[in-house]
Amino acid sequence: MTVEVESPRRLSDYDLVGEYATLAVERGLADAKWYASPIPKEQMRGLLERRDGPAVRDTLLWFALLLAFGLAGLALWGSAWAIIPFAIYGVLYATSSDSRWHESSHGTAFKTDWLNNALYEIASFMVMRESVPWRWTHARHHSDTIIVGRDAEIAFPRPISIVGTILKCFSIPTFFKYFQAVWLHVRGKLTPAERTYLPEAEFGKVFLRARIYLLIYLAVLALAVATRSILPLLFIGLPAFYGTWLMVVYGGTQHAGLAENVLDHRLNTRTVYMNPVNRYMYWNMGYHVEHHMFPMVPYHNLPKLHELLKADVPPPYNGLVEAWREIIPALIRESKDPDFFVQRPLPAPAPRAETSRSAQVITSAANPDAAGWVEVCDLSLLLPGDVLRFEHAGSTYAIYRTSIGQLFASDGFCTHGRAHLSDGFLQGTCIECAKHNGRFEIRDGSVLRPPPRQPLRTYRARERDGKVLLNIASAQGG
């Protein structure tokens, strides 16, 4: 589905509280259903398994590299040779923090969630993104990717400003916007746009973090003044100017120049093959179509996911150079003709295998017994560690069977959006929503990870004579 934004375009069309914000909702582009390639369920389950090992290894290496090049810069300070370690330090600090921020915001980098949260806070500070608002804008970016008036993370709004794009490589507009926002939040205020995606319960966290950020920057500034040296700022603050350029080179390939207002990531997102160094620096985010289609898959499994769906997506780009050879002329053209975009070729439709993630739907019109029990399916249809969707009398339920065979049930939709929990990933007694990685405890419906704030309603489920039964009269919580 594509909806055109009429000319003439203005940058204000992209405002989250403007005319196009309303139009996007009216046209069915907000929180819509997006295309997903069919992936055999068992294979997808294997890809979703979380591990701490890869991210612990990659994060320790990242910190070690930062330390090594920072110390080398310090040791060589006073000579021209210091430029080399600082140039590398700046890129490690300001560019690589982007992908660490990104993956930990989804909670998929580590299996242990406090590690995700710790890395998220550190990387948010380094990449100059306030951790709380950006968690919510990123959830919106995944719901409404490149939907005008809805997505706050459209990096190349049209008409493209060539000068603005060049300045972006040195983080100049970002730097000023960031400190403007921090200063606003330090004073306990929010913009109207922020009020469209931030729940009220998060306001205090936004203000607290903004005050902490400001204190850190003031401390670094004070140290620079006290020591009469720019060195402290070269370590914290200035990397945004001298180390961001590679983030723009990587990140620009994600969506720049592609279609807006389409409900298919294959049309508005690129996958770019990268060499091992770039894959490490960017934590495999070159596989961006794959990430957007299935944000629950951890970064270290994206190459395997790509192998599974590559026949159903447009051809990937063979490296950054090939991608930018398309992007630069497209951006120049979009600076004059905002209706232009690069059309990605879609392969012939893939067969919708009954094994795709969301295929397991059981529908029943049976009357419940006097105690409220209704039969769902044969137990053999619900494998250990799996979840299925059950439709009954106009209601949707999610029925879970844990890896040790316990049965649980809840309402079928995530309380954050209208995403089916049966498309999610069950790990222990935690169900993770496929749309924005929100998590719930299925024993009591409590929220384990935002963006959901409202708990799930749960029901009793049990097995009798090889059948799964649900008690629809036993609703708890929610």
> Contact residues for ligand FES (CB under 6 A)?
414, 416-417, 419, 433, 435-436, 438, 451-452
Shortest Cβ distance from residue 275 to ligand FES (Å)?
34
Shortest Cβ distance from residue 433 to ligand FES (Å)?
3
Shortest Cβ distance from residue 286 to ligand FES (Å)?
25
Kindly provide the b/e burial profile for residues 371-381, where b requires at least 16 CB atoms within 10 angstroms of the residue's own CB: eebbbbbebee
For 181-234, give the DSSP string.
Answer: HHHHHHTT---HHHHHHS-GGGHHHHHHHHHHHHHHHHHHHHHHHHHT-SHHHH
Cβ proximity to ligand FES: between 255 and 420 the closer is 420
What pairs with residue 2 in β-bridges? 262
Shortest Cβ distance from residue 447 to ligand FES (Å)?
10
Shortest Cβ distance from residue 296 to ligand FES (Å)?
10
- Whose structure tokens read 């190459």? 303
- Whose structure tokens read 């930062």? 66
How many residues in total does the chain contain?
478
Residues 6 or more apart whose CB falls under 8 angstroms from that of 2 comprise 259, 261, 262, 267
What are the CA-CA distances from residue 193 to residues 134, 151, 160, 261, 380 (Å)? 13, 11, 22, 19, 49
Cβ proximity to ligand FES: between 13 and 441 the closer is 441
Query: Distance between terminal CA atoms of the chain?
Result: 34
Shortest Cβ distance from residue 324 to ligand FES (Å)?
33
Helix axis angle, 245-255 to 320-336, nearest 10°: 70
Shortest Cβ distance from residue 414 to ligand FES (Å)?
3
DSSP assignment letter at 469: E
Cβ proximity to ligand FES: between 102 and 435 the closer is 435
Cβ proximity to ligand FES: between 143 and 244 the closer is 143
Contact 152, 197 (CB under 8 A): yes
Residue of 98, 102, 91 lying closest to 65 (CA atoms): 91
Shortest Cβ distance from residue 48 to ligand FES (Å)?
15
SS3 (DSSP) at 384? coil
| Separation of alpha carbons 382 and 94, rounded Å | 46
Residue of 462, 261, 245, 265 lying closest to 373 (CA atoms): 462
Cβ proximity to ligand FES: between 376 and 421 the closer is 421
Q: Are strands 373-378 and 457-464 parallel, antiparallel or unpaired?
A: unpaired
Shortest Cβ distance from residue 365 to ligand FES (Å)?
28
Cβ proximity to ligand FES: between 44 and 320 the closer is 44
Residue nearest to ligand FES (CB): 438
Cβ proximity to ligand FES: between 129 and 416 the closer is 416
What pairs with residue 363 in β-bridges? 391
Cβ proximity to ligand FES: between 274 and 433 the closer is 433
Cβ proximity to ligand FES: between 154 and 414 the closer is 414
Tokens matching residue 359? 């295929």
**Most distant CA pair in the chain: distance in Å?**
85
